[in-house]
Copies of this chain bind each other. A is one copy, B any other.
Amino acid sequence: MELKKQVDVCVVGAGHAGCEAALACARLGLKTVIFTVSVDSIALMPCNPNVGGSSKGHLVRELDALGGEMGKNIDKTFIQSKMLNVSKGPAVHSLRAQADKAEYSRAMRKVLENQENLLIKQAEVCELLWEETEDHKKKITGLKTFTGAIYECKAVVLCTGTYLRARCLCGESITYTGPNGLQAANHLTDSLKAMGIEMRRFKTGTPARMDKRSLDFSKMEEQLGDERIVPFSFSTDPESVQKEQASCWLTYTNENTHEIIRNNLDRSPIYAGIIEGTGPRYCPSIEDKVVKFAEKERHQVFIEPEGLHTNEMYVGGMSSSLPEDVQLAMYRTVPGLEHCEIVRNAYAIEYDCINAKQLNPSLEFKNINGLFSGGQFNGSSGYEEAASQGLIAGINAAMSVLHRDPLILDRSESYIGVLIDDLVTKDNREPYRMMTSRAEYRLLLRQDNADLRLRKKGYEIGLISQQEYDALVEKEELIDREIQRLKNTSVGANKEIQHFLEESGSSILKTAATLAELICRPELGYAALAPIDKERHPLPSAVVEQVEIEIKYEGYIIRQKRQVEQYRKMEKKMIPETLDYDGVPSLRLEARQKLKEFRPVSVGQASRISGVSPADISVLLVYLEHYKATK
């Protein structure tokens, strides 16, 4: 006899991806179970104690705009917050907050525990259950746990993170556990392989945690949070997040550090060839940095609190899998860490994940109806990357159960779209990390306008409340009205104005100009014009921000929007799912192979597959015209 239950959706994993996926499904009215190896590690942050940062802050904002939880949760539990890159253009402004890790996890668990339609289950999922469909594809029917319980369901979302057949490495010593000594999930991989899913092995690493009392902060540079804190969530009242903040600290490695590392490279499991998995190029270990950037004299080291109620400090920038004695020696060369005591050693972790080219842009497996996946399991790295995919995978699992169209965000409307398109289109050979440079239309995809870009979609899906949506519509109106007003209000070359301009270090007017034109001058801006803008009404700062950016960058924005139109045209040229590439004449062999392997949904997607040239795309376009005409 086995335990048998019927639900709508099963989410495997309660990390950052799984939490978003499960909340989305439950909030859309589906009976959902979320499985985790340990309830005590829900939304655990096994590595750095922060949310957001360059381009990752964008992801969190977008996720929030769509109705995800990460933004709200970090607003409840941050202990320091900072808008990065404010000296640069608005496209690269990015919010980053330090989390109280324990609080972050507890707050998210509380949200999950109180979500209607959602049940948390501490159980290891070992097997997926499926049947064959008429068109010889597979279709998910449920799953089985280690204790033999069967959950029948209509969709499964896999968010297993770094737990599948995980092993942790610290120098010569290897433990077969998930992060932080938690039980690994050793059984599911076989079931996935048996279903024809191609698995790969990636690795990542984390630095040591140190006892605060053993550090000398007088030798480091203090890093403070912003004076005026901006919340992550568009639904959080900015006043509610103004609070006292904790400090972080900056110090540097030096030649001594690097020498110790170089002298012990043979004892690093990576360089000694013990590690099989591929690590993230953009979150390298300190030994990688020392080897790859041999010319650099020093590397930044950020000392960050793991929470308000613990003395453990995270040593950002020095992740390592060197043996314990080398770790201690190398850390102790860093100013301020001379007498450091290590509470938890740095380590690397290896785990099974997939090549995401097996997925549609909806994050559903191409050949398995009802199977979705998100997060580190898809070959990405990072909490925000995980959460964003989890949300999309969860939404689309729900959409499939509800027989509604999937939500597919494209590269021109969101970083999330870029992230997923990169994952499913490019053959990533290492953990994928989001970066601003990956987005073509950066000026449009700002963190400040994520709500304007995506909240409506969240509302249509059903994850954004009427109230939240009404607030957006009002904001849009205020922005539009103010821009129109500024474009239509002109000021003459009179004495008052000329005097004002001279005082502001700006050149005087020859003829009349609109307020909008004046705002465009680099030395001026919306706030600066207050004295000469007599009809101005007070507006929320979020509205002012948009007005100013839209006016100042109008030229660039228009140009980028034109590029987007071109891009969209190609995205709209869909490729029939059953297209026989062998029947397309004049395709180069490599392109033919790649196209058969990836099976892109559109010509746009096809054009981004490496190995497919512009010439191949022309051939494909011609063929598709002909194909449509004949069908």
Q: Chain A residues in contact with chain B, CB under 8 A?
A: 1-3, 37-40, 102, 106, 109-110, 113-114, 119-124, 146-149, 170-173, 175, 177, 180-183, 209, 211, 213, 309-312, 323-325, 328, 341-345
Whether A110 touches B182, Cβ cut-off 8 Å, given contacts A119-B341, A121-B343, A149-B325, is no
Q: How far is B121's CA from A180's CA once the two chains are assembled, in angstroms?
A: 13
Chain B residue numbers with a CB within 8 Å of A123 are: 345
Whole-angstrom distance from the CB of A374 to the nearest CB of chain B? 23
A526 to chain B, nearest CB (A): 43
Residues of B within 8 A of A124 (CB): 175
Q: Which residues of B contact A325 (CB under 8 A)?
A: 1-3, 148-149
Q: State which of B114, B147, B177 has its C-beta within 8 Å of the C-beta of A345.
A: B147
A63 to B343, CA, bound (A): 28
A122 close to B181 (CB less than 8 A): yes
Q: Considering the chains assembled together, what is the distance between the CA atoms of A326 and B460 in angstroms?
A: 43
CB contact between A173 and one of B114, B147, B309 (< 8 Å): that residue: B147
> In the assembled complex, which residues on chain B have CB atoms less than 8 Å from the CB atom of A343?
39, 119-122
Bound CA–CA A180/B40 (angstroms): 9
Chain B residue with the shortest CB-CB distance to A113:
B311
A39: which of B1, B148, B344 is its contact (CB, 8 Å)?
B344
Contact of A211 (CB < 8 Å), options: B119, B146, B344, B345: B119
Residues on B with C-beta less than 8 A from A341 are 119
Contacts of A120 in B (CB 8 A): 211, 343
Give chain A's interface secondary structure class.
mixed
**Nearest CB of B to A165, in Å:** 15
- On chain B, the residues within 8 Å of A114 by CB distance are 213, 311
A-B contact pairs, 13 of them (CB 8 A): A3-B328, A39-B312, A40-B180, A109-B310, A110-B310, A113-B310, A113-B311, A122-B345, A147-B170, A147-B324, A148-B173, A149-B325, A181-B182
Contact with A183, one of B40, B121, B177 (Cβ below 8 angstroms): B177
CA A37 – CA B182 in complex, angstroms? 10
- For A176, the closest partner residue in chain B by CB is B183
Chain B residues, Cβ within 8 Å of A37:
181
Q: How far is the CB of A312 from the nearest CB of chain B, in Å?
A: 7
Q: Across the two chains, which residue of chain B brings its CB closest to A182?
A: B181
Q: Closest chain B residue to A120 by CB distance?
A: B343
> Complex Cα distance A512/B114, Å?
68
Complex CA distance for A312 and B119, rounded to whole angstroms:
11
Q: How far is the CB of A277 from chain B (nearest CB, A)?
A: 20
Taking a contact as CB atoms under 8 Å apart, the answer to whether A110 and B183 are in contact is no
Residues from chain B with a CB closer than 8 A to the CB of A106 are 102, 309
A123 to B181, CA, bound (A): 10
Which residues from B are CB-within-8-Å of A38?
180-182
Contacts of A173 in B (CB 8 A): 146-148
Which of A114, A147, A172, A309 is most buried by chain B, counting CB atoms within 10 A of its CB?
A147
- Residues of B within 8 Å of A213, CB to CB, are 114
Contacts known (A325-B2, A328-B3, A343-B39); A181 close to B180, Cβ less than 8 A: no
- When distances are taken between beta carbons in the complex, the residues of chain B under 8 Å from A148 are 171-173, 323-325
Q: Give Cα distance in the complex from A181 to B109, angstroms.
A: 18
Given A39-B312, A147-B345, A324 and B211 touching (CB < 8 A)?
A: no
Contact of A323 among B147, B177, B324 (CB under 8 A): B147
CA–CA, A311 and B341, complex, Å: 37
Of the candidates B171, B182, B328, the one whose C-beta lies within 8 Å of that of A182 is B182
B-chain residues with CB within 8 Å of residue A181 when the two chains form the complex: 37-38, 122, 182-183
Residues in B with CB closer than 8 Å to A3 are 324-325, 328
